[in-house]
Amino acid sequence: MKEDLRIKRTHKLLSESLIMLMSEKPFEKITVVDICERAMVHRATFYSHFADKYELLKYILQTFEAPFDNEDVTSHDFVGYRKYYLTVASDIIDEIACRKELMATIIRKNQEESFLAGIRYRLTEKILEKLTKCNDNGMDLPVPAEVLARFYAGACMSILEWWIVDGKEVSKEQLVAYLNRLILQNNLS
């Protein structure tokens, strides 16, 4: 079923407003009123689409989750998993690279554990989902899937923070190449 254009427009306005507000102040200090004023949308309209600002943030973060859902592990072995991980990492890096300065400002302004922990948690869930599928299909993981998912999500978040916030002059391709080398060093098989 096709989404109503008015709904898409409202979601876009609210999302953009929250993103811009997050570049100005910490997420925890942003109110629904702030978001609505910036988007020029009534609070009643906001609440007809989202329960609270956390649900809106989750909606925004789904943009970064799309690569996890669009890609799948092609073969349930180390090569298949590595290809999946690198493709997803590349897609996420592409998405971030388009707004690198804005993302750096948002991360700097939102150093509270709740914001970054939320992103790390969603990333861990997505990786765990695929690792569990690999495990169910006979891929022998060296450690439990939960441990591996947390390891890769944490590593990915740390590297992205280093790249974005510290403003490292490393190309997207070089960053993916680093991830590839790290994965080969820590071969899953």
Residue 34, domain CATH: 1.10.10
Could you say which DSSP state residue 31 is in?
Answer: -
Q: In terms of domains, do 42 and 81 share one?
A: no
Please determine, for residue 97, whether its predicted confidence score (pLDDT) is greater than 80. Answer: no
Q: Which residue has the higher pLDDT, 188 or 11?
A: 11
Q: How far apart are CA 22 and CA 20, in angstroms?
A: 5
Structural domain including 32 reads: 5-54
Summarize the confidence of residues 24-51 as an average pLDDT.
95
* Domain identity same for 83 and 121: yes
Please indicate, yes or no, whether residues 9 and 80 belong to a single structural domain of this protein. no
Say if CB 23 and CB 109 are below 8 A apart.
yes
- The reported pLDDT for the residue numbered 38 is 97
Q: Where are the alpha helices (DSSP H) in the chain?
A: 5-22, 32-39, 43-49, 53-70, 78-97, 100-109, 113-136, 145-165, 172-185
Q: Where residue 116 sits, what CATH number does that domain have?
A: 1.10.357
Number of structural domains found in the chain:
2
The set of residues, in sequence order, having a beta carbon less than 8 Å from that of 12 and lying 6+ positions away, is: none
Supply the DSSP symbol for 111.
Answer: -
Angle (CA) 123-124-126 rounded to 5° is: 65
Helix, strand, coil distribution of the chain in percent, nearest 5: 75, 0, 25
Shared domain check, 168 and 141:
yes
Give me the pLDDT at residue 68, please: 62
Q: Do 85 and 128 fall within a single domain?
A: yes
Residue 99 has φ and ψ, to the nearest 5°, of -135, 40
Query: Which of 179, 140, 146 has the alpha carbon at shortest distance from 160?
Result: 179
What are the pLDDT digits (tens) for 40-78?
Answer: 999 999 999 999 998 998 888 776 666 666 666 566 566
Give yes or no: residues 15 and 94 share one domain: no
| pLDDT tops 80 at residue 84 | no
100 with 130, same domain: the answer is yes
10 and 33 fall within a common domain: yes
Q: Give the end of a domain, one of 37, 54, 71.
A: 54
For residue 41, the model assigns a pLDDT of 96
Note whether 67 and 129 are same-domain residues. yes
pTM for this prediction: 0.65
- CA nearest neighbour of 152 among 108, 77, 88: 88
Nearest-CA neighbor of 93 among 178, 182, 186?
Answer: 178
How many angstroms separate the Cα of 62 from the Cα of each of 23, 59, 174? 19, 5, 25
Mean pLDDT over each residue of the chain, to the nearest integer = 81
Q: Are 22 and 114 in contact (CB under 8 A)?
A: no
Q: What is the pLDDT of residue 189?
A: 46
Query: Residues 37, 112: one domain?
Result: no
Strands (E), 64-131: none
Is 78 found in the same domain as 165?
yes
Q: Are 88 and 42 within one domain?
A: no
Among candidate residues 110, 125, 91, 122, the one with its CA nearest the CA of residue 161: 110
